[in-house]
Amino acid sequence: MSDVHPLDPLVRRWSKYRSFSTGDRNAIRELPYVRRTFGKDAYIVREGEQAGECSLILRGFAYRQKLLSDGDRQIISFHIPTEFVDLQNGVLGIADHNVQSLNHCEIAAVSRSAIIELADQRPAVRMAMWIDTLIDSSIFREWVVNVGRRDSRARIAHLLCELVIRLQRIGADREGLFDFPLTQEQLADATGLTAVHTNRTLQSLRREGLLQLSNGILRVLDWEGLREVGDFDELYLHQQV
């Protein structure tokens, strides 16, 4: 399938969960959307806001986060092109966390009502959407395990494994190389570590020849090794539903 329409990557992504009719595909393509661009670290959604629309990433990375009362930040997930960063807001209405762009980002903003209408009228698409939010949920569960029970090396390794798999799935790998714009501080905020310790942990992983990571480029040198260090089992990503 060649991508002639900006929403085709979404069609392709969702059609892995449910087989779509031509009508289903067209209904997705006909979603009214507004294209928005965000610079680095811009807020796409704010906690407590009434959510008027859902944001699909066309280009760039985004992340969800929550701020503690003492100013500490916990990153809750990272998102890559073809993914909605806040599909749940289409249903729940009020945002329970923040969403920020990680780098320069292009977003297709779809109104809540259009999402709901599509779900109402297209059973197959509705199920794909539900599955999408459920896989999200599964990833959060795995993150609870990651920050709750694994040591620093395993946490970082596990996170990298997850992102590598997800990037591969959208065809974002270039022969083992990945554009990887996360700073060490963001890696730290996602794993519940400090930036300093994240730095030392990455050095340890590099020293063992598991990976290279610099200048925003990640190269996995020893996938099996990284997987083992991270105690990584991709079942939770539900690649085949």
Partner DNA sequence: CGTTAATTTGAGACCATTCAATTTCGGTGG
Partner DNA sequence: CCACCGAAATTGAATGGTCTCAAATTAACG
- Check residue 136 for interaction with a second copy (CB under 8 A): yes
Residues 149-188 that bind a second copy (CB under 8 A): 149-150
For residues 97 and 51, give the distance between their C-alpha atoms in angstroms, rounded to a whole number.
11
CA dist list (Å): 232 to 72, 194, 237: 27, 22, 11
- Check residue 21 for interaction with a second copy (CB under 8 A): no
For residues 38 and 217, give the distance between their C-alpha atoms in angstroms, rounded to a whole number.
21
- Check residue 73 for interaction with DNA (CB under 7 A): no
Candidate residues 77, 89, 146, 184; the one interacting with DNA per rule CB under 7 A: 184
- Check residue 215 for interaction with DNA (CB under 7 A): yes
Nearest approach in angstroms of CB 9 to DNA is 25
- Check residue 92 for interaction with DNA (CB under 7 A): no
Beta strands in the chain (DSSP E): 33-38, 43-45, 53-59, 62-67, 73-79, 98-101, 105-111, 173-174, 177-179, 211-214, 217-220
Candidate residues 3, 200, 238, 241; the one interacting with DNA per rule CB under 7 A: 200
Query: Nearer to DNA by C-beta: 10 or 193?
Result: 193
Taken in order 186, 189, 190, 192, is the CA torsion positive or negative?
positive
What angle do helix axes 123-149 and 112-121 make, rounded to 10 degrees?
Answer: 120
From 30-38, 123-131, 208-216, 219-227, span contacting a second copy (CB under 8 A):
123-131
For residues 165 and 138, give the distance between their C-alpha atoms in angstroms, rounded to a whole number.
15
- Check residue 120 for interaction with a second copy (CB under 8 A): yes
**Residue 69: other Cβ atoms inside 10 A:** 5
Q: Which does 120 bind (CB under 5 to 8 A by kind): a second copy, DNA, none?
A: a second copy
How many residues bind a second copy (CB under 8 A)? The answer is: 46
Judge contact between 42 and 63, C-beta under 8 A.
no
Nearest approach in angstroms of CB 140 to DNA is 20
How many residues bind DNA (CB under 7 A)? The answer is: 20
- Check residue 183 for interaction with DNA (CB under 7 A): yes
Judge contact between 50 and 93, C-beta under 8 A.
yes
Place of tokens 């794993």: 191
Candidate residues 8, 106, 142, 185; the one interacting with DNA per rule CB under 7 A: 185
Nearest approach in angstroms of CB 125 to a second copy is 13
